[in-house]
Amino acid sequence: MSGGEKSENEEDVKTKPTKGEKRRGRSPSKREPIADIEDIMFSIDKVQTMRSSLLDWYDLSHRDLPWRRLDKGQPETRGYGVWVSEIMLQQTRVQTVVEYYKRWMHRWPTVQHLSRASLEEVNEMWAGLGYYRRARFLLEGAKLIVEEGGEFPKTVSALRKIPGIGEYTAGAIASIAFDEVVPVVDGNVIRVIARLKAISGNPKDSKLVKQVWKAAAQLVDPSRPGDFNQALMELGATLCTPTSPSCSTCPVFDHCEALSISKDDSSVLVTDYPAKGIKTKQRHDYSAVCVVEILENQSTSELKQSSRFLLVKRPDEGLLAGLWEFPSVLLNGEADSSTRRESINSLLSKSFGLEPKKNFEIVIREDVGDFVHVFSHIRLKIYVEHLVIRLKGEGSKLFRKQEKKSISWKCVDKKVMSSMGLTSSVRKVYAMVEKFEAEKISPSPAVATKKQRPTSTNLSCRSC
């Protein structure tokens, strides 16, 4: 198990030629050719030496991680624990995963426990890890295993039938938990083998990846397959890193062709192998988020009133599926305050039947600020506003009626808000509003000398 990012379904990327291409008889102006499989395989003598060196290094130097402490005498529990760790580690760094993993295993220590959880409970536990589809696959997989008798699958072929388990994850679970002699290949392993064999091709090229799987299958130790696979990934995660490899402390440096070439030719670097990919350009999106706070009583005083916040559940498919957030709308690019408010007003009217003057009055409406939240493929600029309202007349009845009929939205108080598992972007929105309100009540000395912003208590319908 590595600490780098890995994915079962990576996008292809373009590559640029490396300095080592000319030395290896390749034209820098042409796309890197894929070598024959014989070029990437290791001699029998090297295989034996590399196995021994890697395992000795791993025994002395591996990181102490909670999923590595699982009892080998309980393979089914170990299988479940390895599965959870591997899914969490996809696209997420080790230091982030550790605490999530501990909390998850404390709440759902076995696949049977997990199978009884709800998707909302799982999403709340997962909140902040991102790529929430992974959490849903864990839950669906646990339910499937229990429905089929409860025995945890022990082989790659059986594991591949579980939702969300691809070739890499199946190999990791089967070898680490059940000692099946199979290889695993993630981005770290591709980089290590590409450097050992001085392969400067595209690390995402399907033909090259297929060759690396064959080379990894040749290397895997038959007596300790799980430990060996972890050693190879650990090497890539800690020493043979993308930009700063520690070649002098590498246990297999004397078998590394990239290092040998670099020593002979100062214009060639170990980091030239494999080729650098050109990342796909991120899409730029814009969103207006409205933190709707509903006062609970009809008092004219705005101080010390209890209130609830309106949360909306996202669709069960797509980005952040099934998670709770504040009402929001996507915008067509940058937008001024008036345009954003018109979009929010339309959303509140169509989705909740909320109409200013007709069934609610505005107590406060202010722009809080904006920030950028980055997903793997989207750069989302989020504009935040705080809208405090008091329901009146038929509005209160309509709201209660909708809340009973639908679970697509709900109202929660501050105590519930603080304990909910919300995404990092939703938590940031809420924190911005809380900070903004706190600064209005108790401004810093520098702010206090400036003219205070008036409270917006009498806004026209157009500004609603």
Euclidean distance between CA atoms 126 and 88, whole angstroms: 9
Q: CA–CA separation, 225 vs 212, rounded Å?
A: 17
Contacts 24+ apart (CB under 8 A), 335-341: 335/286, 335/288, 335/383, 337/367, 338/463, 340/288, 340/383, 340/385, 341/365, 341/385, 341/463, 341/464
Q: Is 282 helix (H, G, I), strand (E, B) or coil?
A: coil
DSSP-derived 3-state class of residue 382: strand
Torsion-angle region of residue 422: left (phi > 0), alpha (psi -120 to 50) or beta?
A: beta
Secondary structure of residue 418 in the 3-state scheme: helix
Partners of 359 in beta bridges: none
- Strand (E) or helix (H) holding 144: helix 133-147
The 8-class DSSP code of residue 316 comes to S
Q: State the DSSP string of 322-363.
A: T-EE--EEEESSS--HHHHHHHHHHHHHHHH---BTTTEEEE
Residues paired with 369 in a beta bridge:
384
Residue 362 pairs in a beta bridge with: 389
**Sole residue written with tokens 């939702």:** 163
The answer to whether residue 86 is catalytic is yes
Distance between CA atoms of residues 264 and 270, nearest Å: 12
User: 141-146: long-range contacts at Cβ-Cβ below 8 A with a sequence spacing of 24 or more?
Assistant: 141/83, 141/165, 142/111, 142/112, 142/114, 142/115, 142/117, 143/115, 145/111, 145/115, 146/111, 146/112, 146/115
Residue in 8, 21, 32, 86 annotated catalytic: 86
Tokens of residue 34, six digits: 């894929």
Q: Report the C-alpha gap between 28 and 159 in whole angstroms.
A: 42
- Residues marked active site are found at 86
